[in-house]
């Protein structure tokens, strides 16, 4: 979306976690040209299906389909091909599905007939809702969260993924081991409750840490004035990017 010679841009994907197409479409219409990037996850996909994704694509929006595939390689390959047909920009699989599965996803995205619009594959490392304690209960008690994220980022890179999903706390580890794009949910503007998110950061910190994309849901969709909440986040991102650029000069 931007090359290394152009100024750094960090798109904000608004997570449309709604139970109906009508609610999601109302927000998209309210935001108009203020928002060009939307994420569709399990809830809205199950409620509104492919046609809503195609509607967003037809509106010229960048669509991140966040269905987090985790299955045997052959099944994931088929699912990626079907997703590619909708013209989505980004698509998630769980890195913990293993090398063969992530490779199958990347290969499917690149061997599809829709090569011009091949979705970029993101590997989810550790969900931003996971704590160190929960990681231990999953049997990874020898690893810290940053170590586990680094390990899975390395795997994602070896498989040819475009990027990973991680929290703002692990971006440096991701960049160090893989150089992949960091797509960062768990964004909480100052004062907004964390809820079920465990590894959170304000937009400014995510930018300072090197995020390539932010993902924001409830701090926007549950705000009294969602457009105002979106604009405030966009302003914080723009300011942090210009402070960062000044530091580099
Ligand atoms: O590790 C992950 C991976 C995906 N998500 C998704 O991002 C949004 C975040 O929503 P908020 O309301 O801002 O918490 C949501 O759609 C998740 O499914 C994530 O949070 N963490």
Give, using CA atoms, the residue closest to atom 19 of ligand 1: 185
Number of folded domains that form the chain = 1
Give, using CA atoms, the residue closest to atom 2 of ligand 1: 127
* pLDDT of 248: 73
pLDDT in tens, 221-232: 999 999 999 999
Q: Give CA separation, 21 vs 16, 25, 46, 49, 199, in Å.
A: 10, 6, 10, 9, 29
Give the nearest ligand 1 atom to 125 CA.
1
Asked whether the predicted pLDDT for residue 111 surpasses 80, the reply is yes
Is 6 part of any domain?
A: no
More confident residue, 112 or 24: 24
ipTM over 0.95 threshold: yes
Mean pLDDT along residues 175-201: 98
DSSP H helices, 34-112, are 42-58, 73-84, 99-111
Is 194 part of any domain?
A: yes
Structure tokens at 227: 């457009």
Residue 186 is part of which domain span?
12-248
Asked whether the predicted pLDDT for residue 116 surpasses 90, the reply is no
Give, using CA atoms, the residue closest to atom 13 of ligand 1: 217
Asked whether the predicted pLDDT for residue 2 surpasses 50, the reply is no
Cα 15 to averaged position of ligand 1 atoms, centre (Å) = 7
pLDDT in tens, 148-157: 999 999 999 9
Residue ranges lining ligand 1, Cβ < 6 Å: 15, 17, 41, 66, 124, 127-128, 165, 185-186, 197, 215-219
Structure tokens at 130: 């996971």
* pLDDT, mean over the chain: 95
Is 48 part of any domain?
A: yes
Is 5 part of any domain?
A: no
Percent of the residues in the chain that have a pLDDT greater than 90, as a whole number: 89
Asked whether the predicted pLDDT for residue 220 surpasses 60, the reply is yes
Give the nearest ligand 1 atom to 128 CA.
1
Give, using CA atoms, the residue closest to atom 10 of ligand 1: 217
Q: What is the DSSP letter of 169?
A: G
**Contact indicator for 73, 101 with CB cutoff of 8 Å:** yes
Is 107 part of any domain?
A: yes
Spatial distance between the Cα atoms of 246 and 249, rounded to a whole number of angstroms: 5
Residue with tokens 């309210």: 30
Q: Report the predicted TM-score, pTM, of the whole model to 2 decimal places.
A: 0.96
Is 19 part of any domain?
A: yes
- What pairing do the DSSP bridges indicate for beta strands 12-15 and 37-41? parallel
Flag whether 188 is marked binding: yes
* pLDDT of 28: 98
Cα 154 to averaged position of ligand 1 atoms, centre (Å) = 22
CATH number, domain with residue 201: 3.20.20.70
Flag whether 37 is marked binding: no
* pLDDT of 142: 76
Flag whether 212 is marked binding: no
Side-chain half-sphere exposure of 65, counting CA atoms within 13 A: 30
Q: Annotated catalytic sites, by residue?
A: 66, 68, 71
Is 31 part of any domain?
A: yes
Asked whether the predicted pLDDT for residue 172 surpasses 60, the reply is yes
pLDDT in tens, 34-43: 999 999 999 9
pLDDT in tens, 132-146: 999 999 988 778 999
Flag whether 218 is marked binding: yes
More confident residue, 113 or 237: 237
Is 52 part of any domain?
A: yes
* pLDDT of 117: 80
Q: Give CA separation, 184 vs 200, 210, 216, 236, in Å.
A: 9, 10, 9, 15
């Amino acid at each position: 979306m931007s090359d290394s010679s152009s100024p750094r841009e960090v798109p904000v994907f608004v997570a449309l976690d709604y139970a109906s197409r009508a609610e999601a479409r109302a927000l998209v219409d309210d935001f108009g040209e203020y928002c060009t990037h939307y994420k569709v996850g399990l809830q809205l996909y199950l409620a509104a299906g492919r046609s809503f994704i195609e509607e967003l694509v037809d509106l010229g929006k960048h669509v991140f389909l966040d269905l987090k595939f985790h299955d045997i390689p052959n099944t994931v390959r088929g699912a990626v091909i079907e997703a590619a047909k909708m013209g989505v920009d980004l698509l998630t699989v769980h890195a913990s599905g293993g090398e063969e599965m992530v490779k199958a996803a990347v290969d499917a995205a690149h061997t599809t007939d829709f090569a011009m619009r091949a979705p970029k594959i993101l590997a989810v490392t550790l969900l931003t809702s996971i704590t160190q304690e929960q990681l231990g209960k999953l049997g990874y008690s020898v690893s810290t969260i940053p170590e586990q994220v680094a390990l899975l980022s390395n795997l994602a890179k070896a498989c040819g993924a475009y990027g990973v999903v991680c929290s703002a706390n692990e971006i440096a580890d991701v960049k160090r081991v893989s150089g992949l794009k960091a797509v960062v949910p768990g964004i909480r503007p100052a004062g907004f409750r964390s809820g079920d998110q465990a590894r959170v950061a304000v937009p400014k910190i995510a930018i300072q840490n090197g995020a390539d994309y932010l993902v924001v849901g409830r701090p926007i969709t549950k705000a009294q004035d969602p457009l105002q909440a979106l604009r405030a986040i966009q302003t914080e991102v723009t300011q942090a990017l210009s402070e960062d650029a000044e530091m580099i000069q």
